[in-house]
Amino acid sequence: MKIIMKFGGTSVADGKKLRHVAELVKGYQDKDYQIVVVTSALGGVTDAILEEAHKASKDGEVSRVKEFIADLTKQHHTATREAVGNNSNVEDIIARLDARIEEIEKALTGICYLGELTLRSIDYLSSYGERMAAPILSGAIGSLGVESSHFTGGEIGIITDDNFGSAYPLESSYKNIKKHLSPLLPGTIPVVAGFIGEDEHGIITTLGRGGSDFTASIIGASLNADEIWLWKEVPGIMTTDPKLVPEARPLEVISYIEAMEMSFFGAKVLHPKAIEPAIRHDIPVRVKNTFEPEYPGTLIVKEQKTVRNVVKAVTVIDKVALVNISGAGMVGTIGVAARAFSALANAGVNIIMISQGSSEANLSVVVDDEHLKPAVKALKQEFRNGVVGEIDHDVHISVVAIVGVGMAGTPGVAGKVFDALGQNKVNVIMISQGSSQHNISFVVKEGDAAKAVQLLHKVFSLEKL
Ligand code: ADP
Ligand code: ASP
Ligand code: MG
């Protein structure tokens, strides 16, 4: 069995957990699995680096950067000593980490003086979490007597476009990865830093937050692995976020489409692009709990043989905004939607949901919070000479969605959803259903989102799955 195993931030949060992961991996190696490990940054490190970078660009306080660097150093040194033990490699690893930390300090100090933080420098800085985790985890595996080496994304040939913050791998990456990693298997366990790649000029890029899932899947497709395993702190992909509904249940099997819809509609358990490379070679993806490895977790496959439940999961997207354009002049005027969407696309706005009333007097779109300003600006500019009467927006909203491929062709699902919401006085602001009928999504006030999720989880008896 050739398995790509990715460990998320919580799984490698500190030295003890890193050690546990190393032992887990060795256990599978002992059973003759061929393994490539992909690691996230130690839990919270990416967030902490980004927060410090933003602060540095605003207030330029070099003394706080020094404090931050001291904390980061201590955290990684402690983790290394705990994970690797009193092994002769420890000092090598520590020296390597210190070199990385010095680079972070230089970059942050530079940002303090310049007062500027570009997308490119954000990617450069946020890559360090994974670049420090990989040598520690590889050292921990090595200390158990297993041959291991560590790499960055660029070092194994993950070459991306230069869309910093959400870079996409070029097709050549798949061949490069195979060339770099294949000769190492089965003797060595390569540990690859997730989340990062390089553009064609060797500049570091990142694949988007939570991107280590995507790295694992890209490697899985390159090596035509038997399975891709994503190890997390949850027992699998669940019927909804267990933080919102404690009764949420892990799903035994779901289809690629359902997993993609769930991640697109806000289930933070999976990076939205992580399934795409697996589909290329029809590779099953498993989501497992690092701390309960004996449980099977969730298996994500092309098609599920028997579908017990029409609705499988409820998801929610926060930090979004609604933009509404309206006016009597829109009725019967051809091309308003086309103009609106091309203006939004030219402004780099990511559209999450679209709805147009059949009266044609208004058009609503949901966008990421951070895209609200450019969206409104682009629409105002496009329609400055009339046709559209008003452009207004609302930031205090959330998108809730129900997902399940069994919904296609099953009547009455939407009725059940909106009946329940109506009876419980949850006001629905906007509704959308794709023609694939794999989801129904709707907008509610931010404050109503948790209630809507809890209600629908019950209405579809998901706690009994
Ligand atoms: P990783 O360790 O790979 O970074 P994440 O922390 O990104 O894993 O994913 C697990 C988190 O996703 C959990 O903390 C959980 O609260 C959240 N989550 C949201 N929706 C779901 C869902 N449907 N199933 C499982 N977890 C979910
Ligand atoms: N460390 C990155 C993040 O926090 C990537 C990942 O964990 O997958 O977003
Ligand atoms: Mg994650």
Q: Which atom of ligand 2 is least distant from the CA of 8? A: 7
pLDDT tens digits for 62-103? 999 999 999 999 999 999 999 999 777 899 999 999 999 999
pLDDT tens figures, 272-305:
899 999 999 999 999 999 999 999 999 999 987 6
pLDDT band at 47 (very low <50, low <70, confident <90, very high): very high
Q: Where does 2-233 sit in CATH, by number?
A: 3.40.1160.10
Percent of the chain at pLDDT above 90?
82
Question: In 3D, which of 224, 235, 217, 311 has the Cα closest to residue 272?
Answer: 217
pLDDT at 425: 94
Query: Do 127 and 154 meet the contact criterion of CB atoms below 8 Å apart?
Result: no
Position with higher pLDDT, 308 vs 118 = 118
Greatest C-alpha distance within the chain: 76
Q: Which of 203, 258, 257, 197 is nearest to 222 (CA)?
A: 197
Low-confidence winner among 44-48, 260-264, 330-334 (lowest mean pLDDT) = 330-334
Q: Is the distance from CB of 344 to CB of 365 less than 8 angstroms?
A: yes
| Cβ < 6 A, ligand 1 pocket | 8-11, 40, 210, 232-234, 237-238, 240-243, 267-269, 313
Give residue 336's pLDDT. Answer: 79
Torsion sign (Cα): 51, 57, 58, 61: positive
Please report the pLDDT score of residue 170 as a whole number: 98
* Single pTM value for the model: 0.93
> Tens digits of per-residue pLDDT, 177-186?
999 999 999 9
Cβ–ligand 2 contact at 206 (below 6 Å):
no
Question: Are 212 and 195 spatial neighbours (Cβ–Cβ below 8 Å)?
Answer: yes
Peptide bond preceding 246: is omega within 30 degrees of 0, i.e. cis? no
Average pLDDT, rounded, for the chain: 93
Say how far apart CA 288 and CA 163 lie, in whole Å.
Answer: 31
- Residue 256's pLDDT is 94
User: At residue 243, does pLDDT exceed 70?
Assistant: yes
pLDDT band at 435 (very low <50, low <70, confident <90, very high): low
Pocket test of ligand 2: the residue of 123, 209, 263 to mutate, having most ligand atoms within 8 Å of its CB, is 209
Of the given ranges (201-215, 275-289, 425-439), which has the lowest mean pLDDT? Answer: 425-439
Residue 88 is given by DSSP the state: T
Cβ–Cβ under 8 Å, residues 435 and 255:
no
CA 339 to chain centre: 31
* Whole-angstrom distance, CA of residue 80 vs CA of residue 94: 7
Q: Which long-range contacts does 86-92 make (Cβ < 8 Å, 24+ apart)?
A: 87/139, 87/142, 87/143, 89/139, 89/142, 89/143, 90/139
CA of 300 to the centre of ligand 1 (A): 15
| Confidence label for 306 from pLDDT (cuts 50, 70 and 90) | low
**Residue 309 confidence (pLDDT):** 79
Distance 16 CA to ligand 2 centre (A): 20
* 195 within ligand 2 shell (Cβ under 6 A): yes
pLDDT for the residue 411:
85
Q: Where are the alpha helices (DSSP H) in 305-448?
A: 336-346, 372-382, 413-423
What mean pLDDT do residues 48-60 have?
96
Residue 307 has pLDDT above 80, yes or no: no
Among 80-84, 137-141, 334-338, 346-350, name the one with the lowest average pLDDT. Answer: 334-338
- Domain definitions of the chain by residue range: 2-233, 313-464
Residue 22 has pLDDT above 70, yes or no: yes
Q: What CATH code is assigned to 313-464?
A: 3.30.2130.10
Q: Are 398 and 446 in contact (CB under 8 A)?
A: yes
